[in-house]
């Protein structure tokens, strides 16, 4: 029996409701991991460096889907909590059509700017050529990628997270099969990786679209409607933190790649890419839980159920604490295994990667709190505070740390930059929590 947003949530029910979103995020992240594994082992280090440089650019565009999905699901869940079902359906349809339009526009723009951006980040020669091919192919599937990102939130808000999980897993399986077929069997290299990822994104984005095109048992469906500025702007402002976070992370990744190319060459970019692949799983869990709980918070906020908002906040902090400890310990122990999978063929790269993972991964002890608090404010329909946390956390503190700390600590300054930024950010987040506690009553 499906869990309703209106119910009281204990730990078991919270995890049961959010686990499909967590797995969705991890499955979506598998695109990059599988591509990296096949590209690294069967297409060469230049191809892997090209993927690591260009992928943040694609993620930057895809962040529109996260913004509309997280902000839109918060708006629609609040509207449902207020008892306005027909208006909620109208908002949902409007936001999906808006995403498709924006996706088409960004797809065209991306084809023309992917090469200049790669050059700006320091790519040249074979890495530049491969990165351009990879990026242009993925720009063609941007509308589907944006939809896929938004449906991760909309499926949860529609109380059908398992359907969202199924579509994401199907897309992941398709991606993995095509990676094997196109890269390993047909030797298509980075072009094969791009095609595999693009097809997987189409599966993840278009299957949910088809579900909502027809009559279904949820409160969500696609109806004919025009565009209205106010609800679209409200959804975008609500979800701005999610978009800002992903955009900032993408920009930070670009800064990382620029610094690493300058200080360590392509080997540094590859080691950082391995760290990102590991983060897809751990951060996927933490972000998946945080974003999966947004519709619950929004519903009870709309229904003015302060006791449940307090309950969701306290239980969320406990879940983040326990999972962060587990992820930190396991990653420190398994760093040699992860490095062996991706660069076992090169002893120097292997040693560099093990060291980088172990130093970098201290960030996980505090990073989950920032994700949760930002998402919690999104659920409370306060996109402004959520955006402040996300923007200061990533672009300001991380970007600044990446540029400054290597001047003081050398190459280790890059690996500790995120941990330093997350520690500063968690203080900012808790100050904002204390400042707004009376307004929302979460403690």
Return the minimum-mean-pLDDT range out of 30-34, 268-272, 432-436: 30-34
What b/e string do you get for 96-115 counting C-beta neighbours within 10 Å, with b at 16 or more? bbbbeebbeebbeebbeebb
Query: Which residues constitute the domain of residue 70?
Result: 11-438
In which band, very low, low, confident or very high, does the pLDDT at 1 lie, cut at 50, 70 and 90?
low
Does 2 fall in a domain?
A: no
Does 355 fall in a domain?
A: yes
Does 5 fall in a domain?
A: no
What is the mean pLDDT of the segment spanning 163-186? 89
Torsion of CA 189, 190, 193, 195, to 10 degrees: -100
User: How much of the chain exceeds pLDDT 90, in percent?
Assistant: 55
> pLDDT per residue over 43-81, tens digit each?
887 887 888 788 878 988 998 998 999 899 989 999 998
Does 106 fall in a domain?
A: yes
pTM for the complete prediction?
A: 0.74
Spatial distance between the Cα atoms of 405 and 108, rounded to a whole number of angstroms: 37
Q: Are 135 and 190 in contact (CB under 8 A)?
A: no
Number of structural domains (the chain) is 1
Q: Which residue has the higher pLDDT, 241 or 347?
A: 347
> pLDDT per residue over 184-205, tens digit each?
999 999 999 999 999 999 999 9
CA angle 74, 76, 79 (to 5 degrees): 110
Does 20 fall in a domain?
A: yes
What is the mean pLDDT of the segment spanning 233-243? 83
Does 314 fall in a domain?
A: yes
Does 232 fall in a domain?
A: yes
Computed from CA positions of residues 258, 259, 260, 261, in that sequence, does the dihedral angle turn out positive or negative? Answer: positive
Does 184 fall in a domain?
A: yes
Q: Which residues contact 346 (CB under 8 A, 6 or more apart)?
A: 45
């Amino acid at each position: 029996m499906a869990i309703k947003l209106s119910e009281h949530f204990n730990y078991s029910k919270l995890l049961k409701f959010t686990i499909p979103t967590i797995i969705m995020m991890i499955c979506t992240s598998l695109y990059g991991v599988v591509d990296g594994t096949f590209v690294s082992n069967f297409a060469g280090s230049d191809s892997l460096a090209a993927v690591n440089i260009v992928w943040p650019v694609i993620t930057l565009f895809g962040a529109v889907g996260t913004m509309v999905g997280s902000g839109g699901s918060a708006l629609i869940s609040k509207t449902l909590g207020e008892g306005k079902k027909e208006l909620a359906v109208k908002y949902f349809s409007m936001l999906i059509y808006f995403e498709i339009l924006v996706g088409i526009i960004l797809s065209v723009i991306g084809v023309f700017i992917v090469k200049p951006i790669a050059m700006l980040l320091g790519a040249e020669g074979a890495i530049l050529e491969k990165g351009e091919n990879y990026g242009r192919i993925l720009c063609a599937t941007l509308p589907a990628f944006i939809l896929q990102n938004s449906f991760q939130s909309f499926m949860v808000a529609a109380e059908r997270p398992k359907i969202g999980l199924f579509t994401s897993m199907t897309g992941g399986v398709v991606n993995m099969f095509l990676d094997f077929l196109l890269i390993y069997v047909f030797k298509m290299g980075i072009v094969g990786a791009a095609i595999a990822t693009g097809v997987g994104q189409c599966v993840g984005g278009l299957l949910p679209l088809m579900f909502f095109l027809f009559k279904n048992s949820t409160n969500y469906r696609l109806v004919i409607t025009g565009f209205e500025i106010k609800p679209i702007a409200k959804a975008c402002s609500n979800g701005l933190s999610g978009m800002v976070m992903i955009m900032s992370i993408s920009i930070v990744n670009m800064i990382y790649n620029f610094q690493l190319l300058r200080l360590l060459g392509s080997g540094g970019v590859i080691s950082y890419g391995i760290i990102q692949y590991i983060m897809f799983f751990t951060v996927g869990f933490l972000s998946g839980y945080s974003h999966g709980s947004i519709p619950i918070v929004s519903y009870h906020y709309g229904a003015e159920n302060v006791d449940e908002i307090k309950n969701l906040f306290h239980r969320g902090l406990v879940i983040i604490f326990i999972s962060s400890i587990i992820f930190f310990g396991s990653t420190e122990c398994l760093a040699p295994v992860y490095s062996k999978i991706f660069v076992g063929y090169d002893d120097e790269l292997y040693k560099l990667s093990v060291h980088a993972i172990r130093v970098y991964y201290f960030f996980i002890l505090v990073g989950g709190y920032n994700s949760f608090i930002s998402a919690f404010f999104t659920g409370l329909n306060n996109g402004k505070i959520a955006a402040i946390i996300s923007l200061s956390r990533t672009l300001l503190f991380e970007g600044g740390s990446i540029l400054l700390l290597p001047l003081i600590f050398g190459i280790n300054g890059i690996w500790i930059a995120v941990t330093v930024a997350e520690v500063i950010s968690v203080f900012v987040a808790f100050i904002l929590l204390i400042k707004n506690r009376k307004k929302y009553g979460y403690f």
